[in-house]
């Protein structure tokens, strides 16, 4: 299977007055797994449908290995697609479903059924070829859909919320399997999801889309530690986002800010994402739970507050603490002995702290 | 263990079903059973008599032919019309959908009389064509088996149209998209995915003719 490099250049799609996809440009390298993540109505599925050829963009260009495919119909693109509800043909047994793409390409019956059986073997469903679609569980249907998309050896695989119909336990194990399989096959993949855990677990890079506009593209680590905007900071991971006071010029290499809560002032180093705007607008700091630590309430320099909720998270616990002035902060701690209602202190345990411009983008 | 409410529910269902069952027994099962039983009152005599009569045999084969041809003609009109008015967007589509179902609102007798007025030997359309082409006599006669099939097709295609339209409305169009994405042409999608899935919608109207 030869993976293709896919490029979207200034893709725009309008439905009446509503701009579903607004000047989106994106590159997927050969063999790369890219997740397009966004809330409902953000334009991620429309973007995927444009790449698949089911929607025609109002403007912009899509190229595959440098070849313009913007006007090619879906049947001529040779992409594999896994639909959210799998779209398996209910009147065909499993192996005929998997062999359908080969049948459309005129492969002889014996050969295509043999290829379909090996594709089913590769997704762990060997021997299920004669079963009806209705007899399959959600996880099995997802694997059949994947086998059907991969058996045609596509240059690009498109996946529309492929894990959203699986129960939480199966979903977790399927994430790892899916990533391993896509890397093993070596196909370029674009998958859309609203679930950041799916994106973190499967993708090499993640593109965040909001109101049709692409906000940031980067590795999961980049998006979490160096969000380029308030929109990305609040959508990716959990965070307490607060206004802070700048201390030194933004041009300085070692930029610092200060945060005062309940009369306690803390200074800390901050970092901006590469290419992020450094204008005169007010800035906000993005305090991730793992960058905050719970200490005793009388510790020097700690912001004192009361634990409102406590959530067990395996090796540690996540505490929601109400500080002075009704500021809510979420911090992680390995201490398990703290309970709701306890007085605690909160300190910043990791610097630099990400900082974003205070604008609605 | 079944709850008391479930048992009461089952009894309630029977109370509703009993009158319907009685009606079916009286209007459908009894007349048919009476005819079948009557055919054996003389042993196999009536059946032998039927088999020996060439007129009866011809009536049977003609009936079967008319049924089959009417189904085919209704499918030829109803299926493409349902696709045209269900799958494509164009001005006046909703009005045309209503017009397409009009024959169902006409009593069969009115339909037949309308046909005679329009396409009979001295009908409006027949005379018009005769005059335009300068013919000495009518270009066709609305008689015989083909006339029956013509009238059947006109009056019964609407059931095919309605069933296929209903099927298309419930049809999951992502199945067609999936087939297209896998490389299937329009014809392959129609033949392997859309029509096989719509077939169950077509069984009911087809059985009415037989």
| Contact partners, residue B92, CB within 8 Å, separation at least 6 | none
Cross-chain Cβ contact A74/B172 below 8 Å: no
Task: Indicate if A178 and A252 belong to the same structural domain.
Answer: no
Q: Is the pLDDT of residue B88 over 80?
A: yes
Instruction: Name every chain B residue with its beta carbon within 8 A of the beta carbon of A152.
Output: 182-183
N-to-C CA span, chain B? 45
Indicate the average pLDDT of chain B.
Answer: 87
**Listed residue (B178, B199, B171) closest to A104, CA to CA:** B178
Q: What is the pLDDT of residue A54?
A: 95
Task: Indicate if A312 and A337 belong to the same structural domain.
Answer: yes
Q: Is the pLDDT of residue A246 over 90?
A: no
* Residue found by looking up tokens 């890079």 in the block: A205
Please tell me the distance from the alpha carbon of residue B161 to that of residue B101, in angstroms, as a whole number: 8
Whether A1 is covered by a domain: the verdict is no
Question: How buried is residue A311: exposed, middle or buried, by Cβ count under 10 Å (0-12/13-18/19+)?
Answer: exposed
Task: Indicate if A297 and A209 belong to the same structural domain.
Answer: no
Task: Indicate if A46 and A166 belong to the same structural domain.
Answer: yes
Please tell me the distance from the alpha carbon of residue A287 to that of residue A283, in angstroms, as a whole number: 13
Mean pLDDT for B82-103 is: 88
Longest CA–CA separation in chain A, Å: 78
Instruction: Name every chain A residue with its beta carbon within 8 A of the beta carbon of B174.
Output: 83, 85, 87
Whether A266 is covered by a domain: the verdict is yes
pLDDT, tens digit (0-9, with 9 covering 90-100), for B58-87: 999 999 999 999 999 999 999 999 999 988
Longest CA–CA separation in chain B, Å: 83
DSSP annotation string for A171-186: HHHHHHHHHHHHHHHT
Give all domains of chain B, ordered by start, each with its CATH number: 1-52 (no CATH), 62-209 (1.10.3720.10)
Cross-chain Cβ contact B184/A91 below 8 Å: no
Q: Which chain B residues have any C-beta within 8 angstroms of a chain A C-beta? A: 172, 174-175, 177-185, 188, 192-193, 196-197
Model confidence band, residue A1 (pLDDT cutoffs 50, 70, 90): low
Residue after which a domain boundary falls, among A207, A230, A253: A230
Task: Indicate if A306 and A210 belong to the same structural domain.
Answer: no
Please tell me the distance from the alpha carbon of residue A327 to that of residue A348, in angstroms, as a whole number: 15
Q: Is A331 helix (H, G, I), strand (E, B) or coil?
A: strand
- We report the CATH number of the domain holding residue A65 as 3.40.50.300
Task: Indicate if A27 and A162 belong to the same structural domain.
Answer: yes
Indicate the average pLDDT of chain A.
Answer: 90
Q: What is the pLDDT of residue B178?
A: 95
Please tell me the distance from the alpha carbon of residue B205 to that of residue B155, in angstroms, as a whole number: 12
Q: What is the pLDDT of residue A252?
A: 52
Task: Indicate if A211 and A345 belong to the same structural domain.
Answer: no
Task: Indicate if A108 and A29 belong to the same structural domain.
Answer: yes
Cross-chain Cβ contact B185/A104 below 8 Å: yes
- We report the CATH number of the domain holding residue A309 as 2.40.50.140
**Listed residue (B56, B43, B164) closest to B100, CA to CA:** B164
Residue after which a domain boundary falls, among A197, A230, A263: A230
What is each CA distance from A80 to A52, A322, B183, in whole angstroms? 9, 49, 9
| Contact partners, residue A334, CB within 8 Å, separation at least 6 | A315, A316, A317
Question: Which of B178, B191, B195 is the mutation pick for testing A, counting most A CBs within 10 A?
Answer: B178
Strand pairing of A316-323 and A303-313?
antiparallel
Long-range contacts of A108-117 (CB under 8 A, 24+ apart): A115/A151, A116/A147, A116/A151
Give the one of B175, B183, B192 whose C-beta lies nearest to A152's C-beta.
Answer: B183
* Residue found by looking up tokens 């009593």 in the block: B107
Instruction: Name every chain B residue with its beta carbon within 8 A of the beta carbon of A77.
Output: 181
Please tell me the distance from the alpha carbon of residue A86 to that of residue B178, in angstroms, as a whole number: 9
Task: Indicate if A213 and A293 belong to the same structural domain.
Answer: no
How many independent structural domains does chain A possess? 2
Whether A18 is covered by a domain: the verdict is yes
Task: Indicate if A273 and A158 belong to the same structural domain.
Answer: no
Task: Indicate if A160 and A271 belong to the same structural domain.
Answer: no
Residue after which a domain boundary falls, among A230, A253, A283: A230
Model confidence band, residue B209 (pLDDT cutoffs 50, 70, 90): low
Task: Indicate if A223 and A315 belong to the same structural domain.
Answer: no
Instruction: Name every chain A residue with its beta carbon within 8 A of the beta carbon of B182.
Output: 75, 80, 100-101, 104, 148-149, 152
Q: What is the pLDDT of residue A124?
A: 87
Cross-chain Cβ contact B174/A79 below 8 Å: no
Its domain, for residue A350, covers: 239-357
Q: What is the pLDDT of residue B111?
A: 79
Please tell me the distance from the alpha carbon of residue B165 to that of residue B99, in angstroms, as a whole number: 14
Interface ipTM > 0.90: no
The token pair at B121 is 């030997």
Whether A87 is covered by a domain: the verdict is yes
| Contact partners, residue A83, CB within 8 Å, separation at least 6 | A145, A160, B174, B177, B178
Rg (CA), chain B: 24
Strand pairing of A67-68 and A59-64?
antiparallel
């Amino acid at each position: 299977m030869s993976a293709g490099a896919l490029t979207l250049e200034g893709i725009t799609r309008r439905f009446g007055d509503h701009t579903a996809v607004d000047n989106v440009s994106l590159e997927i390298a050969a063999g790369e797994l890219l997740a397009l993540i966004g809330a409902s109505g953000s334009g991620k599925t429309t973007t995927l449908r444009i790449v698949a050829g089911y929607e025609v963009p109002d403007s912009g260009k899509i190229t595959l290995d440098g070849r313009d495919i913007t006007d090619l119909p879906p049947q001529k693109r040779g992409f594999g697609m896994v639909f959210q509800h799998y779209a398996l043909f209910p009147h065909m047994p499993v192996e005929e479903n998997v062999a359908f793409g080969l049948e459309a390409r005129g492969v002889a019956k014996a050969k295509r059924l043999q290829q379909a059986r090996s594709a089913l073997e590769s997704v762990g469903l060997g021997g299920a070829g004669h079963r009806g679609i209705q007899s399959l569980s959600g996880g099995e249907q997802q694997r059949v859909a994947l086998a059907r998309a991969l058996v045609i050896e596509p240059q690009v695989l498109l996946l529309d919320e492929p894990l959203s119909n699986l129960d939480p336990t199966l979903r977790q194990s399927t994430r790892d399997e899916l990533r391993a399989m896509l890397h093993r096959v070596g196909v370029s993949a674009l998958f859309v999801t609203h679930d950041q855990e799916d994106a973190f677990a499967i993708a090499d890079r993640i593109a965040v889309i909001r109101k049709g506009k692409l906000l940031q593209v980067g590795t999961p680590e980049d998006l979490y530690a160096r969000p380029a905007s308030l929109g990305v900071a609040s959508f990716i991971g959990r965070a307490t986002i607060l206004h802070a006071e700048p201390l030194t010029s933004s041009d300085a290499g070692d930029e610092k800010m200060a945060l005062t809560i309940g009369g306690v002032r803390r200074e800390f180093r901050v970092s901006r994402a590469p290419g992020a705007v450094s204008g005169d607008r007010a800035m906000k700091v993005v305090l991730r739970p793992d960058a905050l630590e719970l200490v005793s309430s009388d510790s020097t320099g700690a912001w004192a507050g009361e634990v409102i909720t406590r959530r067990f998270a395996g090796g540690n616990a996540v505490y929601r603490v109400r500080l002075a002035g009704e500021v809510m902060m979420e911090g992680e701690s390995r201490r398990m002995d703290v309970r709701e209602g306890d007085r605690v202190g909160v300190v910043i345990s990791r610097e630099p702290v990400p900082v974003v411009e205070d604008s609605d983008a | 263990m079944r709850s008391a409410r479930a048992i009461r529910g089952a009894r309630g269902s029977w109370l509703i079903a009993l009158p319907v069952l009685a009606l079916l027994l009286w209007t459908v099962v009894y007349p048919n059973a009476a005819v079948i039983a009557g055919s054996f009152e003389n042993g196999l005599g009536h059946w032998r008599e039927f088999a020996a009569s060439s007129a009866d045999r011809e009536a049977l084969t003609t009936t079967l032919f008319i049924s089959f041809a009417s189904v085919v003609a209704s499918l030829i009109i109803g299926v493409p019309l349902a696709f045209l008015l269900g799958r494509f967007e164009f001005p006046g589509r909703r009005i045309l959908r209503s017009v397409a179902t009009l024959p169902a609102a006409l009593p069969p007798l009115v339909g037949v009389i309308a046909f005679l007025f329009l396409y009979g030997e001295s009908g409006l359309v027949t005379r018009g064509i005769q005059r335009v082409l300068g013919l000495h006599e009518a270009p066709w006669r609305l008689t015989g088996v083909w006339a029956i099939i013509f009238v059947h097709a006109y009056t019964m295609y609407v059931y095919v149209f309605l069933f296929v339209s209903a099927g298309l409305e419930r049809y999951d169009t992502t199945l067609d998209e999936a087939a297209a994405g896998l490389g299937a042409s329009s014809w392959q999608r129609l033949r392997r995915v859309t029509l096989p899935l719509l077939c169950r919608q077509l069984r009911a109207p087809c059985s009415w003719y037989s």
